[in-house]
Amino acid sequence: MSQTNILLEAGTNELEIVEFHLDEQDEGQEVYKGYYGVNVAKVLEIIRMPKVTEMPEVRHKSVLGAFNLRSSIIPLVDLSLWLGKKRVQTGEEPKVIVTEFNNVNTAFMVSGVNRIHRISWEEVEAPNSYVSTMTKNTITGVVKMDGRIIFLLDLERIVSDLNPQLGLRLDNGIDWDKTKQYRALVADDSTVIREMIKDLLQKAGFSVEAFNNGKDAWNRLCSIKDKAESAQRPISDFLQVVISDIEMPQMDGHSFCKHIKEDPVLKKLPVILFSSLITDKLRHKGLAVGADDQIAKPEITYVATKAIALIKEAWGQ
């Protein structure tokens, strides 16, 4: 899969998704296509079904085994089985989407790959609680397109559930200095990750406001700025650091960071981007929008220590 120009751009509030489908069968034995999508930035390539070797003692039946791709051993997950769907084998040969995020390669078997779409994050709706519950919280966004619904999958959630060692973990062995209180604003569309970041920061002596998308977080920052200006006080009296995911409905983390750094009052706020998309290939995008640091998931404990260091550097606190 060739690199597209969007991987070189930052702050446009756009993304490209690979749309694919699963041929599924409902309880009434009706066969239908379920449409799904994943961010192009996480896709290494799309290949034909490889020769798979079974793996011993796998935790979930959806893990079909592993295969060798250019000297890398990559596990293969049957996405239908993971989602609890009954996949139907049609005349179409299954395709395999090979992904890379959090410095881990994983492959997902799907019924077929349709095309790539370039869309604005404003077109991505957050899933309602019913959809989230029905899909094991593996849906991060919903896109309505050409008379069909495309569900954006939270592949990180799937991978961390299959291998908990790859998930976010708090280091409870750190003895945080709570003699100082800090204020942080957090934006992340994953309820689980948002609560983990909030929990970690509170243990480290932070008070935290959390939002599930960049647009709501930006609106809150504007109200904090107005409050500071009305009181003729510095913004640091109300907030000292911002921590943001990159992939979020309505406004992504790069656009959110760009808004902050272009604002004459807010630009001094340290911004940490915390995302599975922090890779050597994509780190330049965070630099382009002025991020003060970029931390790859799942290094969550480092978020708090780095946030404190940036606050001391920016505000002398």
- The pLDDT assigned to 2 comes to 45
- CATH code that applies to domain 168-315: 3.40.50.2300
Q: Is the pTM of this model over 0.75?
A: yes
pLDDT at residue 3 is higher than 60: no
Q: Identity (one letter) of the amino acid at 201? A: L
Min mean pLDDT across 28-32, 77-81, 199-203 is at 28-32
In the predicted model, what is the mean pLDDT of residues 207-225? 95
| Rounded-to-10 torsion of CA 213, 119, 94, 24 | 60
| Strands 63-69 vs 104-110: parallel, antiparallel or unpaired | unpaired
Q: CB-based burial of residue 116 (10 Å sphere; 0-12 exposed, 13-18 middle, 19+ buried)?
A: middle
pLDDT, greater one: 282 or 227: 227
Give residues with Cβ within 8 angstroms of 49, minimum separation 6: 93, 94, 95, 96, 109
Q: Single out the residue of 260, 254, 178, 248 nearest to residue 210, CA to CA.
A: 248
pLDDT, greater one: 287 or 127: 287
Rounded distance, CA 187 to CA 209, Å?
A: 9
Structural domain spans, the chain: 5-164, 168-315
Contact 167, 180 (CB under 8 A): no
Tens of pLDDT, residues 130-152: 776 666 678 888 999 988 999 99
- The C-alpha angle with vertex 107 and arms to 101 and 108, in degrees rounded to 5, equals 115
- The pLDDT assigned to 168 comes to 67
The CATH architecture to which 5-164 belongs is: Beta Barrel (2.40)
pLDDT at residue 236 is higher than 70: yes
Min mean pLDDT across 27-41, 166-180, 240-254 is at 166-180
Strands (E), 159-213: 182-187, 206-211
Mean pLDDT of the chain: 87
Q: Single out the residue of 163, 9, 177, 38 nearest to residue 99, CA to CA.
A: 38
- 39-55 burial, b at 16+ Cβ within 10 Å, e below that, comes to bbbbbbeeeeebebeee
pLDDT at residue 7 is higher than 70: no
- The pLDDT assigned to 150 comes to 95
Tens of pLDDT, residues 155-184: 888 888 887 666 666 676 677 777 778 999
- The pLDDT assigned to 317 comes to 67
pLDDT at residue 215 is higher than 90: yes
Q: Tell me the DSSP string of 133-150.
A: HHTTT-EEEEEEETTEEE
In the predicted model, what is the mean pLDDT of residues 212-239? 95
pLDDT, greater one: 221 or 55: 221
Residue listed under structure tokens 């920016």: 314
pLDDT at residue 64 is higher than 90: yes
Strands (E), the chain: 14-25, 31-39, 43-48, 63-69, 72-78, 95-101, 104-110, 112-120, 139-145, 148-153, 182-187, 206-211, 241-244, 271-275, 293-296
Distances (CA, A) of 113 to 35, 145, 252: 10, 16, 25
Rounded distance, CA 32 to CA 270, Å?
A: 48
